Structure 1
Amino acid sequence: MKKILPLLLLLFSIFSYSSEINGNVFLDNTSDHSGIVIKFNPVSPSAVYIEGVSNSIGEYSITVVNGVYNISYEKDGYQTYTITNQLISTDDTLTSVTLNSNTAVNVSGNISGNWTNNNTYIVNGDITIPPSQTLNIEPGTEVRFDGYYSLIVNGTLTAVGTENNKINITSNSTNPTNNDWNQIKINSTSASSEINYCVIEYGHITDFAETGFIEINGEVTISNSTIKNSNGPAIKIALNYSGDVLIDNCEINDSNYGIYNSGIGEILITNNRIFDINTIGVYENIYDSQTTIRNNIIYNCPYTGITSHSDILIERNILFNNGHGNPYGAGVFVVDGTPIIANNTMFSNKNGVGIYDNDFYNPQPIINSNIIINNSDYGIISQGEFQPSVVAYNLFNNNTNGVGNNIPVGVGLVITTNANGTDSDAYYNIFSSAQLISINPTDSNFCELNSISDAINAGDPNIVNNYNSTVIDIGAKESSETLSINGFSNYDFIIYPNPVVNEIKIQSKNTQLFDRIVIYNIKGQIIKEYNLENSKSEYKLENLNNLKSGIHLMSIYNNFKKIHEIKLLKK
């Protein structure tokens, strides 16, 4: 009796400090979720091993002695899922877990061939696609990095998912962090890689060289993808890389930089949503002057939305809530050169446009046809002596400290009216309410102009309107931008660069085939005609140096039917 009493007291003591743990665990390929074993493996001295089993709908409820545990979910034919260092101290419901029926395939070293979606590829060493070889990753495939390793592309990577079946490239940790694996490094210049409908997450530690989570030093197109959760730049175009790069329709967030561009090729950054970045949304370095940043939505970047060092084109972007972590923070910050900042909408930033002051640089931006409103400091702020070379056809309103602190003479002083009869300064800048229908980015009419807005048809008449034949509106969104020439959607095709120098690339966004391309002058006369031997979904027109400078029309046909038309500006 004396021996039994202490044992009873010990058991009573243990179970008086216990918790009821509930949760759900599922199998990915069946509706019967019974028989999954949930094991609580002790980590701390106070913990006591116990296990339970799920019922047919995946529920479990287990009384667990308080302590720290590694919790594993196991069933034959499925990959084990483990939660490490879980503290149990009170009744709790754990996050739901789904067990994967795919076969786990460990990979390292040289790789090529096809990766299929019935496998989960566990990367446990650096993996390399050798020159002249290709790795094709099927839609729905999952790639998990089990350590600080990289995918190095010296050949060709084709990672093409679908809208409803994306490729997931991620950490193998059950508690992932922003630096669990290293990077995807694109090196090959002999063949073009493609990353399309992928989710790439939880990798890359920031370094002095600011190398990227996706590091581009070779030909690649990145589209329709999510790149997030990185302590480095989400995408970095490597120093002096001279190839063309397209980054289109991606979502980039929770990274040190969104896009960091040090390349010198034709860089097109279009239709992306870049947000919740630790520093700068898009950083364009001093080496580049051929970048176009167009139709992006950039917000929640504490330094700047866009920083520019060169004569680049920044147009039709929406930039808001940027720069509030920096006294000179702005929607767009100009360090050097004469970038064209045209038809953007900037609101609720620290400043609309910022201008750097340094003995080594000479920033003189062209600020034309933008909506710059509701910024908490200035519409345009200069750190010192430099000022914009042009400030014309913009709409300024409700910037706390006014239009700017160092701007061209006459800007901001109402002395006349514009062509629509709205009060304006000598450069046809206007100062009334923008009349935006919504400033909520989740609304379908986000930053669209109300029909009574003074911004309609009030932009620079010298800027080509690709949407209709009227004078452009001020701001990022045309009031009729859902229609382009002859009613074609302006977003069915990616056509760049535009303005054109020597060549232009045409890429269908929905694999629409075409077999004929015709360039007309403004009188409707055929200047150039291209009849393709086989139907294409993408094509490059070259040797356009002899095309006369000015405005042209380009029509795209398939089987004698016109499927797209756009205005081109030849430099």
Structure 2
Amino acid sequence: MRTIFLFSFFLILTVSIRASIIQVSGNVSGTWNADTVQVIDDILIPNNQILTINPGVKVIFDGYYFFNISGQIQANGLANDSISFFVSDTTGLYNLETNEGSWAGFWFEQISPNNDSSTFEFCKFNYGKAVSTDSVYWYGGAVRINKSDRIRFSNCSFSNNIAYKNGGAIYCRDSDIKIEHCMFLDNAGGTSIEWGYGGAVCLEYSNAIVCRNYFAKNSSTGTGGGLSFEYSDPDIEANIFYNNFSAIGGGLCCIRSKAGKAVVNNLFDHNGSTFFGGALAFLEAHTLFTNNTVVNNSSIYGGGFHINAGANPIIKNCIIWNNTISSEEGPQVCVYDVYSAPEFYYNNIEGGFEDFTGSGVGNGLIIYDNNIDLDPQFVGTGDFPFSPHGDSPSVNTGTPDTTGLLLPHTDLAGQLRIQEDQIDMGCYENQGNSGIQSGTINKLELSVSPNPITDHSIINLNILEQTELEFTITDSQGKEIVRIPMQDYSQGKHQISLPIIKLNSGLYFLKALEKNSNRIKVSKLMAH
């Protein structure tokens, strides 16, 4: 009995400590295990000191306070128990003339190499703002990194962070960091006075790794609504850029950089720009751009690509299709100046070279070899709608020699990058028999509300003809999260409560499968 009593006492004590609230200011280190940590002034992890933040901790800033790091931080949450950083009152967040409604973000400034790596896993960064009368504070709404390597963000989300100038969520200068499996949503950089570079992420003089992230609804007033890099050689691999917006380069802008690594296996879908390059802009950049899919983007000039200022990108094995413009200049590609010399090899480009526009088209410097202009025949449904059908002209028609392309082993869907003798064009290799069904269920209307999903989200069905359906939810890599068993549904409207599941922030898919057929219906889900 005494042993049971002592165990119960310690269990109650542990729960009590975990549910507590602590206040912090000044120098911090050790371990945070409280339910809530209130930041009541600027805080600092001193050099050679370590702060560990346990899963589930909520770090709430009571005002515009900085989280300075001179030592090391380990903020490692779990998929179902994340760590959150946010401000207690967001009133005035979007007024860039004040610091109201926000916290000041993390600052890594010339971290000594004596400190070990800092890591953030399954963390949420919300409502950070970089503003001041002093321009040094205009960079990185949630995180500013300067001359500090060995920093990694994994499975994190960055939402509603803003900067007066560059890097709405993350600004990185002269630092080699890693950003992987993260979501960037509704971040913004720049004002009408100060052009912003990188609505979500801005890299300068940094050879970062940016891999398998999701950029959506980010914006900047200058370049790169999702991501902008300058004087850098980052590895940009297997990211999705969706519905981002900027003045130049709606999804991505590459500026004054030389290729050593590659921009590879990325999807650019429904991005837009005010002036140039709905999806991408290359400005005085010599970037290796391989096996990307650029579709449904829009701008005034160059719905897909804008190439200017003596840029010489090498573009191979890409699909550039269904991009639009509001002018008469280059629906897919605009080579704006006479000094740019882009090279195009083994791409599927709608309209072909004859549809290129801009002053550089007749300069004789553009290389255009072994490209095609044929409907890419996307699957159009399933988890990977821009994967090509088996009979697509983009299948097995990429460059025969992939030497020097720096290709990863897998495509954006996580399938083997080369499944047959020759690589496919675009960010997806043809899936073959990997499980993508063909055809869609025309007799079914499918949606989820609210979306981004909550514990109260509902699957809305409008069935035009009685049928049996099974539902699954998968992540962006096709991994099944939950399954709703096959059931008979009568004609008419139905509502099904979405199973209560804890999801990491990111993109998911709800898929309805009809019994005894290969037909499916897919709806995108967002989780915050």
Q: TM-score, normalised by structure 2?
A: 0.63
Q: Which residue of 2 aligns with 1:42?
A: none
SS of residue in 2 equivalent to 1:148? coil
SS of residue in 1 equivalent to 2:160? strand
Instruction: Decide which of 152, 161, 166 is 2:68's aligned counterpart.
Output: 152
Q: Which residue of 2 aligns with 1:366?
A: 314
What is the one-letter code of the residue matched to 2:158?
I
Q: CA shift at 1:250, angstroms?
A: 0.3
Q: Which residue of 2 aligns with 1:516?
A: none
Instruction: Decide which of 443, 460, 463 is 2:399's aligned counterpart.
Output: 460
1:470 aligns with 2:421: yes
Q: Which residue of 2 aligns with 1:446?
A: 385
Matches within 5 A, 1:480-491: 480=431
Q: Which residue of 1 aligns with 2:30?
A: 113
Q: Distance in 2 between matches of 1:234 and 1:471?
A: 40
Matches within 5 A, 1:115-514: 115-116=32-33, 118-173=34-89, 177=93, 179-187=101-109, 188-190=111-113, 191-206=116-131, 208=135, 210-212=138-140, 213-217=142-146, 218=148, 219-232=150-163, 233-241=167-175, 244-256=176-188, 257-264=199-206, 266-279=207-220, 280-288=224-232, 290-303=233-246, 304=249, 305-309=251-255, 310-312=257-259, 313-324=262-273, 326-350=274-298, 351-357=303-309, 362-377=310-325, 378-397=331-350, 402-405=355-358, 406-407=360-361, 427-438=369-380, 443-463=382-402, 466=409, 467=416, 468=418, 470-480=421-431
Task: For residues 502-543 of structure 1, give each alpha carbon's deviation from its aligned partner in whole angstroms, at most 9, with x where no partner exists.
Answer: xxxxxxx9xxxxxxxxxxxxxxxxxxxxxxxxxxxxxxxxxx
Q: CA shift at 1:260, angstroms?
A: 0.1
CA contact (8 A) 1:108 1:125 kept: yes
Q: Distance in 2 between matches of 1:115 and 1:235?
A: 24
Structure number with the bigger relative contact order (C-alpha 8 A, sep ≥ 6) is: 2
Q: TM-score, normalised by structure 1?
A: 0.58
Moved over 6 A (4+): 398-401, 408-412
Task: For residues 322-361 of structure 1, give each alpha carbon's deviation from its aligned partner in whole angstroms, at most 9, with x where no partner exists.
Answer: 233x22133110011310111110111122111124xxxx
CA contact (8 A) 1:410 1:426 kept: no
Give aligned-pair identity as a percent: 24
Q: Distance in 1 between matches of 2:387 and 2:314?
A: 23
Q: Distance in 2 between matches of 1:174 and 1:381?
A: 41
Listed as ranges, the gaps of 5+ residues in structure 2 are 1-17, 95-100, 189-198, 326-330, 410-415, 435-476, 478-528
Q: Are the structure 2 counterparts of residues 356 and 174 from structure 1 closer, same or farther at C-alpha, using a change threshold of 3 Å?
A: closer
Q: Are the structure 2 counterparts of residues 260 and 139 from structure 1 closer, same or farther at C-alpha, using a change threshold of 3 Å?
A: same
Q: Distance in 2 between matches of 1:371 and 1:229?
A: 32
Query: Which one has the largest radius of gyration?
Result: 1
What is the one-letter code of the residue matched to 2:336?
Q
CA contact (8 A) 1:389 1:408 kept: no
CA contact (8 A) 1:366 1:391 kept: yes
Task: For residues 250-287 of structure 1, give each alpha carbon's deviation from its aligned partner in whole angstroms, at most 9, with x where no partner exists.
Answer: 001211111100133x3111100011112224444432
CA contact (8 A) 2:345 2:369 kept: yes
Q: Distance in 2 between matches of 1:156 and 1:333?
A: 36
Listed as ranges, the gaps of 5+ residues in structure 1 are 1-100, 413-424, 484-508, 510-571
Q: Distance in 1 between matches of 2:266 and 2:252?
A: 10
Q: Are the structure 2 counterparts of residues 192 and 203 from structure 1 closer, same or farther at C-alpha, using a change threshold of 3 Å?
A: same
SS of residue in 1 equivalent to 2:376? coil
Task: For residues 174-205 of structure 1, give each alpha carbon's deviation from its aligned partner in whole angstroms, at most 9, with x where no partner exists.
Answer: 76835511111123242210011001101113
Q: CA shift at 1:234, angstroms?
A: 3.9
SS of residue in 2 equivalent to 1:106? strand
Task: For residues 62-106 of structure 1, give each alpha carbon's deviation from its aligned partner in whole angstroms, at most 9, with x where no partner exists.
Answer: xxxxxxxxxxxxxxxxxxxxxxxxxxxxxxxxxxxxxxx932211
Task: For residues 204-260 of structure 1, give each alpha carbon's deviation from its aligned partner in whole angstroms, at most 9, with x where no partner exists.
Answer: 13564541121123231011000111122244344333xx31100100121111110
CA contact (8 A) 1:321 1:348 kept: yes
Q: CA shift at 1:393, angstroms?
A: 0.7
Name which of structure 1's ranges 368-377 and 166-175 shifts more when overlaid on structure 2. Answer: 166-175
CA contact (8 A) 1:227 1:234 kept: no
Q: Are the structure 2 counterparts of residues 407 and 479 from structure 1 closer, same or farther at C-alpha, using a change threshold of 3 Å?
A: farther
Q: Are the structure 2 counterparts of residues 433 and 206 from structure 1 closer, same or farther at C-alpha, using a change threshold of 3 Å?
A: farther
